A = this chain, B = another copy of it.
C-alpha cells in the first residue's frame, strides 16, 4: 500500500502512464490519485501548480518529496522499493547497459512522435509549413525503422532482452500511442508484436488510459508513416 503517495494525472499522457505502470510493477497500489482533464486545462490549476510549477502532469509526491518528471519518478521508485514487486533494472551488466540505452532513446522516439501528432497544437497557424510536416513524418519513419530493427535483433521479447525493465515501462506508453494514432501493423510487425505482448501485462492493463477504452483509435494520422 502506498498511502503516502499522491499522483495527479491525465488520461493517455505517456509520462503519467509511465509512473502508473512503475507503481503497479512495484506493488505500490492504493496511492491517492486524481484524474484531471487536459481539455479543461486542469493541469494549469492551482492544485497542480502547488506541486509542479511547470503546470504539467504527472505531478507526483512521495511524502513531501516531489517527483514530477516521469523518468525521475520511475528511477526513484525502483531505487527506493528495490526488493518490492518486480525488479525493473537487470542485474546482468549487458542487459543493464541495453536497458539504459533503450530507455533514453525512448525520449527521442516520444519527441519525434509528438512532433508529428501535435504539430498543429504546438505550432501557431502562421508558422506552419507543409515542408516541416513532411520532414517530421520522414524523421519519425526513420526512427520507427530503428526500433523495428532493435526488436528484430533483440535477445528476448522485451527492449533490453529477456525481462521486462524500466526501458519497457518508459517506452511502452509512447508505442501504444503510435498504434492509437493508426500505425500500420503490417509495416512494423515487430513493434506490433511487442505492443500486443505488453498490452495484456497486468500493470499495463490495469493502468490503461480510461478515455481510450471507449474510443480505442483516435485518428489515422500515422497510417502512412
Give the B-binding residues of A (Cβ under 8 A).
Answer: 53-54, 62, 64-73, 75-76, 79-80, 89, 93-94, 96-98, 100-101, 103-105, 107, 124, 126-127, 129, 131-132, 146
Contacts and interface: CB of A to CB of B under 8 A. Distances in A.
Nearest to A94: B65
Contacts of A80: 93, 96
14 contacts: A53-B146, A64-B94, A65-B94, A67-B97, A67-B100, A69-B100, A69-B103, A72-B103, A73-B100, A75-B100, A76-B97, A79-B96, A80-B93, A107-B107
B71 A93 contact: no
A97 B98 CA distance: 24
Nearest to A95: B65
Contacts of A124: 131
A103 B39 CA distance: 29
Most central of A54, A94, A100 by chain B CB within 10 Å: A100
